[in-house]
């Protein structure tokens, strides 16, 4: 085609053509390994793959068609295109859960290892096992990462290595019993923040990412890891950690109402360690629900012994092919 592409774009298109059907994540890793230093990160490569294959929405499909059909070849167009520098953009997409494979899920969040409540965590897992739930969704903050936190107020410091190992052992054991969908929370993001602050030159190395440090791809075939603050779409229910909306989402009522005011859609999340829900109908006579989950961590940490926190978890069940759902937002009360 006559339209000029960037050098990185040319590389990606060659691999897409030569490796049809290969998973985007696998292909991005191969491109990154074959062209060290050429791209920002494997995730950046995956974004380019999706861009050039038209998987970023309706408008992008039109753009991608230009690359495959000589859609336009005017000289003036090419000059304008060449004058525009490459832009940085994020490939932000929802992670869609197959509701046919996972018609019911258990949902937990805010465990904060090593500051977890082991009894509450085991009561939750026991509930999932007894009710034959096959999939567990972890909505972030499984690990506390206190040692690399900006705050770091706790005297009982567990090393980063110790936290990593206990997290890995827990996930490996959990995925032996369940299919696990693990979404990053703001505490998992502490590693990225720390690296970009202390060692920005190596912050994007694939082997230093939390997913790689836990070796999830090699050791845990029944686990999916969701990063980039992506929303999980489970039928008509959107799952988040809660920090994705930014700060100060609280309403005077409860965190669930805060979620609702930001999402304007069905949503479930954690982050605030409180069980609450908010249901509203719209002018189309559809009910929309927002749910916030309790935590499974120490309710009285040294840095905030008095708070509004509570222990809890949830289950969600798809009720028909359209993706309608029921949420059972459960509390653990001592």
Q: Provide the 3-class DSSP secondary structure of residue 285.
A: coil
| CATH (one of 3.60.21.10, 2.102.10.10, 1.20.1250.20, 3.40.190.10) for 95-332 | 3.60.21.10
Q: Which residue bears the tokens 């506390």?
A: 144
Question: Which stretches in the chain have pLDDT values below 70?
Answer: 1-5, 21, 54-78, 81, 86-91, 152-156, 248-252
Per-residue pLDDT, 79: 73
- The DSSP result for 128-155, as a single string, is HHHTT--EEEEES-SB--GGG-S----S
List the chain domain ranges: 7-83, 95-332
- Tens-digit pLDDT profile for residues 157-183: 789 999 999 999 999 999 999 999 999
Q: How far apart are CA 42 and CA 62, in angstroms?
A: 25
Per-residue pLDDT, 1: 34
């Amino acid at each position: 085609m006559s339209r000029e592409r960037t050098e990185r774009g040319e590389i990606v298109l060659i691999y897409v053509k030569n490796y049809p059907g290969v998973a985007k994540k696998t292909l991005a890793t191969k491109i990154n390994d074959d062209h060290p230093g050429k791209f920002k990160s494997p995730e950046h490569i995956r974004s380019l793959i999706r861009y050039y294959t038209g998987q970023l929405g309706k408008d992008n499909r039109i753009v991608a068609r230009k690359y495959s059909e000589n859609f336009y070849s005017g000289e003036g167009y090419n000059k304008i295109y060449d004058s525009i520098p490459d832009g940085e953009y994020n490939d932000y997409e929802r992670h869609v859960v197959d509701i046919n494979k996972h018609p019911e899920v258990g949902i937990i969040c805010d465990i904060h290892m090593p500051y977890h409540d082991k009894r509450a965590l085991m009561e939750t897992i026991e509930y999932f096992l007894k009710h034959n739930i096959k999939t567990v969704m972890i909505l972030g903050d499984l690990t506390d990462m206190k040692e690399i936190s900006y705050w770091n107020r706790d005297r009982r410091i567990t090393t980063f290595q110790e936290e990593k190992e206990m997290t890995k052992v827990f996930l490996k054991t959990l995925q032996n019993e369940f299919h696990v969908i693990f979404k990053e929370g703001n505490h998992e993001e502490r590693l990225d923040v720390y690296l970009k602050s202390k060692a920005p030159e190596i912050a994007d190395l694939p082997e230093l990412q939390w997913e790689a440090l836990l070796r999830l791809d090699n050791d845990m075939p029944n686990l999916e890891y969701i990063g980039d603050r992506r929303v999980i779409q489970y039928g008509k229910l959107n799952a988040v950690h809660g920090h994705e909306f930014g700060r100060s989402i609280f309403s005077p009522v409860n965190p669930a109402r805060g979620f609702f005011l930001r999402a304007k859609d069905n949503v479930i999340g954690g982050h605030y360690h409180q069980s609450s829900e908010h249901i509203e109908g719209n002018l189309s006579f559809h009910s929309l629900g927002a749910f916030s989950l309790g935590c499974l961590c120490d309710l009285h940490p040294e840095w905030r012994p008095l708070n509004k926190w509570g222990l809890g978890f949830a289950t969600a069940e798809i009720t028909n092919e359209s993706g309608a759902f029921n949420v059972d937002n459960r509390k653990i009360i001592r």
